[in-house]
């Protein structure tokens, strides 16, 4: 049995069908072939599958695809406009706030969520907000530097 739902993905209204048990991450990766969100832990603690729903970061591995009905989903693929990187992506590049890159898309989406809700976070708030995005390469200092610049502080 499939569910027909209406949703918005990266700014485009879509009429889609999903399996009731399918996670949003599976739907994005397997059905839409959007491979930017990746699976790291499958229990919602590593943050590498982070996408935005109505501007707020969620772990897409813990979200059912059916729950995006009527909502707006933004993935890493939806950030750059006309080939121009989003300011968060630019800041990550400038500070080289990544190494292997596997957690990076989730980290960037979490930073988007942070700045959507709190445009000027201090360092302690940033650390707290991003503590659910794990980077085993340990590139946290550079992420903090990127966020600091983006927050204009």
Partner 1 sequence: MSLVGTNVEMVGGRAKVSGAVSYVADMEFPGQLYAKALRSPYPHARLLRIDASKAAALPGVRAVVTRNDLAGLNPYFGTGVEDQPVLVIDKVRCVGDIVAAVAADSKEIAEEAITLIEADYEELPAATDLLEAAKPGAPIVQEQHIDKRAGGNIHGVYRASSGDIEQGLKESDDIIENIYKIPPVQHGHIEPHVVTALWEPSGKLVVHTPSQTPSPLQEQIAKVFKMPLNRVRVIVPFIGGGYGGKNHARIEPVVALLARKARRPVQWILSRDEVFLTGRRFGAVVKIKTGFKRDGRLWARQVEAWYDMGAYALSGPANTKNAAIIAGGPYNIPHRDYTTYAVYTNLPPAGPYRGVGASHVCWAYESDIDDIARRCNLDPLEVRLKNLLRENDRFITGEAMISVGVSECVKQVAKSINWQTGAEQSLRSDAKATEQSLRSDAIVRGKGLAVAIKSTSTPSTSAASVRLNADGSAILLTSTSDMGQGAQTSLAQIVADELALPFERVTVTFPDSDVTPYDKSTSSSRATFHMGKAAQLACDKIREQLFQAGAKALEARVEDLELRDSRLQVKGVPEKNLTYPQLFKAIYGEASGSLFGSHTLRTEGGVDAITGQGKGSSFWFYSAAGAEVEVDTETGKVRVLQVASAVDVGKAVHPLQCGLQNEGSALAGLGSALFEEMLYDNGQPINSSFLDYLLPSMLDHPGEFKSLLVETPHPDGPFGAKGMGEAALPPMAPAIGNAIANALNGVRVRDLPVMPHKIVTALNGCKERR
**Residue ranges in contact with partner 1 by CB under 8 A:** 29, 33-43, 45-46, 48, 75-77, 79-80, 85, 89, 92-93, 96, 98-105, 108, 123, 126-128, 130-144
The alpha-helical segments, DSSP class H, found in the chain are 24-26, 87-95, 104-117, 123-129, 140-150
Q: How far is the CB of 135 from partner 1 (least distance, A)?
A: 8
Give the nearer residue to partner 1 in terms of CB position, either 46 or 68: 46
- ∠ CA 138-121-37, nearest 5°, is 50
Give the nearer residue to partner 1 in terms of CB position, either 131 or 153: 131
Give the nearer residue to partner 1 in terms of CB position, either 6 or 17: 17
Q: How far is the CB of 131 from partner 1 (least distance, A)?
A: 4
Give the nearer residue to partner 1 in terms of CB position, either 7 or 78: 78
Q: How far is the CB of 40 from partner 1 (least distance, A)?
A: 4
9-17: long-range contacts, CB 8 A cutoff, minimum separation 24:
9/68, 9/72, 9/73, 9/75, 9/78, 10/73, 10/74, 10/75, 10/77, 10/78, 11/72, 11/74, 11/78
Q: How far is the CB of 117 from partner 1 (least distance, A)?
A: 17
Q: How many CA atoms lie within 13 A of 84 on its CB side?
A: 4
């Amino acid at each position: 049995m499939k569910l027909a739902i209406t949703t918005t993905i990266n700014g485009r209204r879509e009429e889609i069908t999903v399996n009731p048990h399918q996670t949003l991450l599976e739907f994005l990766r397997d059905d839409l072939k959007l491979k930017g969100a990746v699976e790291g832990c499958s229990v919602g603690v590593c943050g590498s599958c982070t996408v935005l729903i109505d501007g707020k970061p969620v772990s897409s591995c813990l979200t059912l695809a059916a729950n995006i009905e009527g909502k707006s989903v933004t993935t890493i693929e939806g950030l750059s406009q006309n080939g121009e990187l989003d300011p968060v992506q630019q800041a990550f590049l400038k500070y080289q706030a990544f190494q292997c890159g596997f957690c990076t898309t989730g980290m960037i989406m979490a930073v988007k969520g942070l700045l959507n809700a709190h445009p000027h976070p201090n360092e302690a708030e940033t650390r707290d907000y991003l503590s659910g995005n794990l980077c085993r390469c340990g590139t946290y200092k550079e992420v903090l530097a990127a966020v600091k610049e983006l927050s204009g502080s």
